[in-house]
Structure 1
């Protein structure tokens, strides 16, 4: 499965909650080997969720860390999705707008709104494994946000969580203000459908158009970066097999080669440059971190002849592979 990413805004949200709870968030970052305030820029690997929650739990001394921090989450965080809500005519319209751009927060989040008579249900799906602390924190963030957007009119009726093992039921009720079902078939938040028609005091059609245009641009950027990550991953995979060409990668992506070239150009990169960059980084890594013979490195980086590899490496680095390895080992 390809690498998935989350927006750093989710991490900032948790760090704010840590600070509000009286815990220095830099101590959590230090457990992860990050400097004070050393947040990644833009997006970070979804796989980092597990070590982050483990570090936060250890630093706070809280077994139910996601649920614990849900108490300290701010109602608003300055996210673009919040502005989509506020500038929409009604809460329901804002919710539907925000759901279209949920991928801005995480590539793993997928949600839909279901309305059945007087009951509304927000169904959430997570497209990758995640510690239970994340959905427990996220549910708290959603409930606080919806309450703030509706000036307290939003009231959850029930919450369903897929994990079977969690906190005591009374603790969930205290934090969320509603009953919680563990071991459910889905993540779902149930509430009164009437709140969807609640008018927004901040409704502004002109601002809504601006916010949607900005959301579309940001989503387009996420999709471009996602494509580059997919191509980089396929280049690494194909070089181990038979060499990576534009046609081979485009076939794996089920996309015409011309279309792939055009989309990469829109992302500001060229396919051949991605191949060269991967070969160079892989060659440096193998030379410095292993004792593999040069002949093996030649094969693993997709070259057919050692002489071709030597010339390319000298062009990339300014010295031969042997010179680079000797200098790096000292």
Structure 2
């Protein structure tokens, strides 16, 4: 059985896009042009539960550089990005007893911000090193993402320490650009490039700095809330896994809750309950997947209807026609014609 789910849908919190949106407005960038070319609606930004595909980051920064003609747009945007606030991680950080405890919790719950990024603290003698790691993101185009994330982490550290945080050195994972003036205008400390990761070095004594907003009861409450949010994301991962197995089994024509549960090493009752916890049911996931696949095949390929019936796992054309008419209020042939026009 194929249980490789290493491609779990890597996503970022919509909050990152909203912060970038505010910075773009500050820089008088043509926001409508950028969002249009990234196929994003401004209305979508108001969705507090929005999570965006991490693999779209490369395209976003390429579009942004193309629109602005700024080779250092990550630095430029980072300088104007508002501090990350208003999320459970911020509240958890502020209610933590110390700056170091705040980072311990941030490390544990950083997935609330991004599936593809992580943070960690390493101490070497008197020096602490904050690592901002982009897992599996190595494209040169994401130099801008690296830059904006490091600036964002630096600003946040200053915010939660009420300005006491000072960087001893900054290191970037990407190679040095020809002109580093944009970097030296933001950071007054030494800057390295081509490092093993993105690092912010600072005085380790700061980790023991007490938070002026420390509150044990709130800290416990925020910790529980963050834990529940992580649990919800893990359940949403299950939906992605179910869709992945559906794709693997669809051509066999036999896709059932039981067959999916077997592939996921779960009891059918457990799978049904876990999906219900996030208001999903198996039949709807299967129908949505078949609908999306049918539309793609009809619009983007020359596959015959009989072949599409087979590829989408239907037993006969009449069943496929009825289902598609129910989904789209038109027949498959009408849909294909409308897309060809």
* TM bucket, shorter chain: 0.7 to 0.9
Shift of 1:62: 0.9
- Within a 5 Å distance, the mapping from 1:304-315 to structure 2 comes to 304-313=315-324
2:327, 2:23 → 1: CA distance?
46
Q: Does 1:128 align with 2:136?
A: yes
Q: 1:188 to 1:247 in 2, by over 3 A?
A: farther
RMSD after superposition: 2.7
1:24, 1:312 → 2: CA distance?
42
Paired residue for 2:60, among 52, 56, 74? 52
The alignment's TM-score, normalised by the length of structure 2, stands at 0.85
The alignment's TM-score, normalised by the length of structure 1, stands at 0.88
Q: 1:251 to 1:161 in 2, by over 3 A?
A: farther
Aligned with 1:157: secondary structure? strand
* Structure 2 portions without partners, runs of 5+: 1-6
2:134, 2:201 → 1: CA distance?
18
Paired residue for 2:310, among 299, 302, 307? 299
Paired residue for 2:90, among 82, 85, 90? 82
Paired residue for 1:3, among 4, 9, 15? 9
* Structure 1 portions without partners, runs of 5+: none
Shift of 1:167: 5.6
1:110, 1:139 → 2: CA distance?
12
Q: 1:116 to 1:86 in 2, by over 3 A?
A: same
Q: 1:149 to 1:244 in 2, by over 3 A?
A: same
Deviations 1:91-141 (A, max 9, x none): 111121222110011111122222233111122322232511111101001
Q: Does 1:177 align with 2:160?
A: no
1:319, 1:60 → 2: CA distance?
43
Shift of 1:298: 1.3
Aligned with 2:45: secondary structure? coil
Kindly tell me the number of residue pairs found equivalent between the two proteins. Answer: 330
Paired residue for 1:103, among 106, 111, 128? 111
Aligned with 2:58: secondary structure? helix
Paired residue for 2:76, among 55, 68, 81? 68
1:91, 1:43 → 2: CA distance?
28
